[in-house]
Amino acid sequence: MSEASSGGLTRRAFLKTTAAATAVTAAGAGLSTVAAHAASPTRGLPDEQSFVNTCRGNCGGKCVLVGKVREGKLVQTRPYEPPEGFERSRMGCVKGVTYPQRLYAPNRVLYPMIQRGERGSDNWERVSWDEAIAYVSDHINKAQAEYGPNAFGLWHSYGSEGWLNGAYHQSTGVGYHRFLNTFGGTVIIPGGDQAQVYMGLFVMQHGTNSTADYTNAKTLIAWGANVTDTVRCCWPYICDARDKGARMIAVDPRYTITAAGSDTWIPVRSGTDGALMLAMANFIIDNDLVDWDFLAKKSVAPLLIKDDGSYFKLSDMGIPPTEGPISPWTGQPVIINPEVVFDKATGQLASQFTAEDPAVTGEFEYEGTRLRTVFDYVRDMTKQFTVEFAAKECDISEEQVIDLATTYATNGPTTVVMAQGICHHVNSRHNYKNLAYLASLTGNIDKPGACIYLNKNHVNVETTTLTTKEMYPDPSLMKPYATLCSERVPEVLETGKLGEADLPLKVVMIVSANPFASESGRPRFLETLKHLDCLVTVDCFMSDTARYSDVILPVGLSFEQEDFLQISSHEVDFLMQKAVEPAGEVKSDFEIYNLLAPKIGLDGLYDKDAEGYLHALLDNEANKKIGRTYDDFKREGVIADWSEEPVIGTEANALKRVQFYLPDLIARDVAYTVLPAEEKIPWYEHAMEAYQDNPLREKYPLFGNSEHSNYTGHSMYNDIPWIHEIWGDPYVMLNDETAAERGIAEDDLVRVFNDRGEVVLRARLTKGLRKDSIILPHGPQQDAYRVGHPQDLTLCFSDLTGNSSYNDFLCEVEKWKGGE
Ligand code: SF4
C-alpha cells in the first residue's frame, strides 16, 4: 500500500519538504486550514466554537487546552486561562499549541491496516474494521486454544488519558481495565520510570504536598530534575520561594537551565546519587542534626524488628489481631495487627499507635526474642557510605557533600524536586528509600515546605464508584492475569518461560505505547519479535512499534472523543469535549475494546455506552452535593477549585509513618523470589554498566545519559513541523573538551556507539556538562536519525522494579565517516 493511501509518510520524506507544502499535500484541507488560520488570528468569527480537552497522553501535565474549531476543523489550541489571581496555575507548553498539527499529521493512521510483507517492510493493506478485528481475534483465539490464556499479552504504557479510554494513569478506567480484568492473559507493564512508580508510589506510598507548597520551602534541591523544561508547572511556585529567599541547589551532571537558576550546582557523576544521599544521612547522624522527635513519631525508625528482619507485632505478644473497616478493594475487613515499639514513657513494649514516646534506638528482648529498632539496623548497615566515599564516587568535593547535608538538615523546610534523572539506572530503585530516609532523619516531609518526590495536587471529584461493582463487571467474569515487566519480554519470547514458569507468549496487543522507540534495550526487542505469531498495535500514528506490527488499529486523539479527566498537578477536573469528527475511520479505545471483546469470548463486558459510563462515574451523591455531575461538566466543561493554599500531604500507607525500611518488599518482577537484605533498606550499589571503575571504560569511556526536552513527549510530537522548526534535528550534547579530543566541532555528524549498537546524529557542544558524560535525546523515533537509535545502545535488563535503565550505559563518540 502506498504511503499516501495509508495516511503515512516517513519522517524523512516529510521533513524534506516545507512544513506547509507537505501539510497541504498529505492532509488535504485539514492542515492547510490550520496553517492559514494559525497565521491570522480569527477571534470573533461567527462560526467558531471553543472546546476543552488535553494532549493525549505521555506527559504528566494533562493541561487543559482550549481548542478552536472552524468549519469542522481544529484550527488552534491554547492553554486554558485561569481566573485573575491564579495565573501561576496557567498550564500548557509549546507542544500543546502545536496540537492541531498533531491531529492532522501526515503520519496519522486513518484506517485499520494489515502488514502483508515482513514486519518493518511498510507493505500495508487497508482493511475494514471487521476484517481487522477478525484477524486479531482469530490469532488470539488460536493462540489461547493451543498454548493457554497467557499466550495473549496486553501491553500498555503512558500514551492515553481519560476515564473511558485511558490505559495507564486512570488505573480504574472503564475501557482498558474492564478488558484487562477479564481477558485472563498476560499483562505487560512498561519499564519506563518504574523505579519511581513502583518504589516511590506503590511500595512506599508517601504523601505529597500540593504544587503551591513549593513557596514554603527555604531550601529546594532539584535532584536530577531540569524543572524549567520537564515539570514546568512547578517553576512559578519555585520562583516565589526564591523571591522569598529560598536557597536552590541543583544536583545534576549537566548545567541545566534549572542549574543556571540555582545558587549551587553539584555536578555529580551520573548514577551515583544514592552514594551522596547516604553520605548525607551519615553526616546528619554523626553530627546530631537529626530531628529525633519526627523520627520517633512519624517514621518507621522506632519500630522493632526481629533477627529475621520482620516487624515485631502485637500478635507476637499473644494479642490477637482485630478487624477494621471493609476495604473497598477486597470487600474484606482490614486486619489490624500493629507493629510494636518500646515506649520510653512507660518503659514497656506497646503498639506503635498508642505509645507516647517511642524509643528510636536501643536493644530489647521479649521472651527470648531479640529486638532492635529499624533506625539502629539501618544506621549500622549503611555506615560504610561516608562523606569520603561519596566524594570519590560522585566525583565532587567532601565540602560539597557536607554543605548539601548541612543545608538539607538545618536550612529547612527543604523540598527535593525531582523528575526522572535519578530514576534511570539499574541502581535507581534504592534512591527512593534513601530520600525517604533523609526526609525522616530531618523531618523534611509531610509539613509545609518539606517534601520528597514531585508535588501533586489533590483531586476533588468523587470517582471511587469506579472501584465498586457499579463500574466493574460481574465478578464472575473477572479472571486473574499474569504480569510481566516489559524488560523481560525478549527473554520470555526466546525461552517461553518467565523464571521457572511457562509463559508461551504468542500474540501481543500494544496499546498507547511505542516500546520500540521508548524502551531501553531496543535491539533485543526487535530481534525476538520473530517468536511472536501476531503483533497488534493500537495507535494514532505510524510509530516505530506500529511499523513492526502485523496489524494496526487506528485510535482517536483528544478533541475527537468525549472523556473525563482529573489533573494531579492542578486542582482541575474537566470533561474532555469532543470538538471534531474523528479522522478517517479511527475509533476510540473504548470502541475498539467493544468490538474485540465479544470476538474473544468476553461477551457482555460493556453494558453501557460511553456516555452511560460517564454518567455512572460522575452522578453519585457526593458529586451531586458539590455540583459535579456529568450534566454539570457537560455545561461547564472545566470545574476547578482555584486555590493558592498549599495542601500538605499525609501518609497514605497503613503504617501511617514514612517508610524507609521495607521488610515485606515484593519484587514487581515475579521472576525474583528471594530478595537480599539490602533491597529492603536504604542502599547504594554502583550502576550496572555506567560506573567509574568498569574496565569497559577503556573501550567506552563516556557515561551515556538521555533527556526529555521541552519539544518531545517521549516519542510523541517529534514529527510536528512547528516543533522541528524550533528544535531542529536531534543532537548529542558533548563537553567541548571531550569533543575537541575527538576532533568534533559543533554541528558535526557524529557516531555514538558501543557493542550493542550505534546512533548517528549532530553534535552540540557545551561547557555545561561533565567531561565524562554525553546526553542523547529521549524521544525521537528511528527515522529522525541518520543511522540507528539511542535505545540501540542501552541495556535490556529488569531489576526488581522492572525499570528501564536508559542512563546506565557506556559509549564512545567519533566523527561520522558516512558523509552528509
Ligand atoms: S505536552 Fe504536556 S505540558 Fe505540554 S500542553 Fe500537553 S499536557 Fe501540557
662-683 pLDDT tens trace: 999 988 876 667 889 999 999 9
- The reply to whether ligand 1 has any atom less than 6 angstroms from the CB of 63 is yes
**What amino acid occupies position 428?**
S
pLDDT per residue as tens digits for the range 24-56 = 223 322 222 222 223 333 445 667 899 999 887
| pLDDT above 90: percentage of residues in the chain | 63
At residue 15, the pLDDT reads 32
Residue with cell 494496526: 552
Does the beta carbon of 162 lie inside 6 Å of ligand 1?
no
In the three-class reduction of DSSP (H, G, I as helix; E, B as strand; rest coil), residue 763 is classed as strand
* Confidence check: pLDDT of 138 > 50: yes
- Asked whether the beta carbons of 597 and 91 are under 8 A apart, the reply is no
For residue 738, pLDDT over 90 is answered with yes
The predicted pLDDT at position 206 comes to 76
Distance from the alpha carbon of residue 772 to the mean position of ligand 1, in angstroms: 33
Q: Give tens-digit pLDDT for 61-106.
A: 788 899 999 999 999 999 998 888 888 888 888 889 999 999 999 8
Q: Give the pLDDT of residue 42.
A: 40
Q: Helices 29-39 and 19-27, interaxial angle, to 10°?
A: 140
Centre of ligand 1 to C-alpha 605, Å, is: 33
542 contacts 713 by C-beta, under 8 angstroms = no
Mean pLDDT of the chain: 87
Which residues are within 8 A (CB) of 28 and not within 5 positions of it... i.e. 6 or more apart?
A: none
> Which residue type sits at 800?
L
- Distance from Cα 57 to the centre of ligand 1, integer Å: 9
Residue of 807 and 819 predicted with greater confidence: 807
Given a cut of 80, whether residue 533 has pLDDT beyond it is yes
Contact of 809 with 793, CB cutoff 8 Å? yes
297 lines ligand 1 (CB under 6 A): no
Element (H, E) at 12: helix 11-16
**Calpha distance 559→557 (Å, rounded):** 6
Mean pLDDT value of segment 296-311: 97
Mean pLDDT, residues 150-162? 88
Burial class (CB in 10 A: 0-12, 13-18, 19+), 505: buried
The whole-number pLDDT of residue 807 equals 96
With cut-offs at 50, 70 and 90, classify the pLDDT of residue 569.
low
Q: Residues 198, 613: contact at Cβ < 8 Å?
A: no
> Does the beta carbon of 779 lie inside 6 Å of ligand 1?
no
pLDDT in tens, 760-785: 999 999 999 999 999 999 888 998 99
**For residue 655, what are the CA distances in angstroms to 227, 283, 307, 549?**
32, 27, 20, 46
pLDDT band at residue 18 using 50, 70 and 90 as cut-offs: very low
- Give the model's pLDDT for residue 243: 96
What pLDDT score was predicted for residue 45? 61
Given a cut of 90, whether residue 397 has pLDDT beyond it is: yes
* Chain centre to alpha carbon of residue 247: 28
777 Cβ below 6 A of ligand 1: no
Pair type for strands 507-511 and 534-539: parallel
d(CA 142, CA 182) in angstroms, rounded, equals 18
The CB of 513 under 6 Å from ligand 1? The reply is no
- 204: which 3 cell numbers? 512506599
Q: How far is CA 77 from CA 63, 73, 81, 764, in A?
A: 11, 12, 12, 32
* Ligand 1 center to 733 CA (angstroms): 24
Q: Which atom of ligand 1 is nearest to the CA of 233?
A: 3
Residue 144 backbone dihedrals phi, psi, to 5 degrees: -70, -35
What's the rounded Cα separation, in Å, for the pair 181 and 602? 11
CA distances from 664 to 83, 309, 429, 667 (A): 47, 9, 16, 10
User: What separation in Å is there between the alpha carbon of 445 and the centre of ligand 1?
Assistant: 28
Burial of 676 (0-12, 13-18, 19+ CB in 10 A): exposed
For residue 513, which of 159, 191, 62, 113 has the smallest C-alpha distance? 159
Q: Which ligand 1 atom is nearest residue 91's CA? A: 8
Starting at the edge strand found earlier in the chain, the sheet holding 73-79 runs: 49-53, 65-70, 73-79
What's residue 158's pLDDT?
77
Task: Output the CA–CA distances (angstroms, integers) from residue 130 to 125, 183, 425, in the order listed.
Answer: 14, 20, 44
Is the pLDDT reported for residue 12 higher than 60?
no
Lowest mean pLDDT among 107-121, 269-283, 617-631, 642-656: 642-656
* SS3 annotation, 612-639: HHHHHHHCCHHHHHCCCCHHHHHHHCEE
> Under DSSP, is residue 732 helix (H, G, I), strand (E, B) or coil?
strand
- Contact call for residues 528 and 516 (beta carbons, < 8 A): no
CA distance 512 to 532: 19
| Residue 59 CA to ligand 1 centre (angstroms) | 6
Distance separating alpha carbons of residues 597 and 600, to the nearest angstrom: 6
219-223/247-251 β-pairing: parallel
pLDDT, average across residues 540-552: 95
Predicted pLDDT at 688? 96
Calculate the CA 329 to chain-centre distance. 24
Look up residue 440 and give its three cell numbers: 525522616
Q: What percent of the chain has pLDDT over 70?
A: 89
Identity of the residue numbered 17: T
Sequence-separated (6 or more) residues with CB below 8 Å from residue 83 = 642
Of the listed ranges 55-59, 205-209, 387-391, the one predicted with least confidence: 55-59
Residue 713, ligand 1, Cβ within 6 A: yes
Question: Residue 625: how many CB atoms within 10 A of its CB?
Answer: 10
Distance 167 CA to ligand 1 centre (A): 18
Band (pLDDT 50/70/90 cuts) for residue 714 is: confident
C-alpha cell at 254: 549537566
> What domains appear along the chain, each with residue ranges and CATH number?
209-442 (3.40.228.10), 695-815 (2.40.40.20)
Kindly indicate the confidence band of residue 727, based on its pLDDT and cuts at 50, 70 and 90: confident
The three cell numbers locating residue 454: 514531585
Instruction: Please name the amino acid found at residue 690.
Output: A
The per-residue pLDDT for 169 is 54
Mutate to test the pocket of ligand 1, among 56, 80, 89, 91 (most ligand atoms within 8 A of CB): 91
Ligand 1 neighbour 62 (Cβ under 6 A) = yes
* Polymer length of the chain: 820
User: Of 62, 93, 99, which is best to mutate to test ligand 1, by the most ligand atoms within 8 angstroms of its C-beta?
Assistant: 93
Report how far ligand 1's centroid is from the alpha carbon of 280 (Å).
Answer: 35
504-518, 614-628, 765-779, 799-813: lowest mean pLDDT where? 614-628
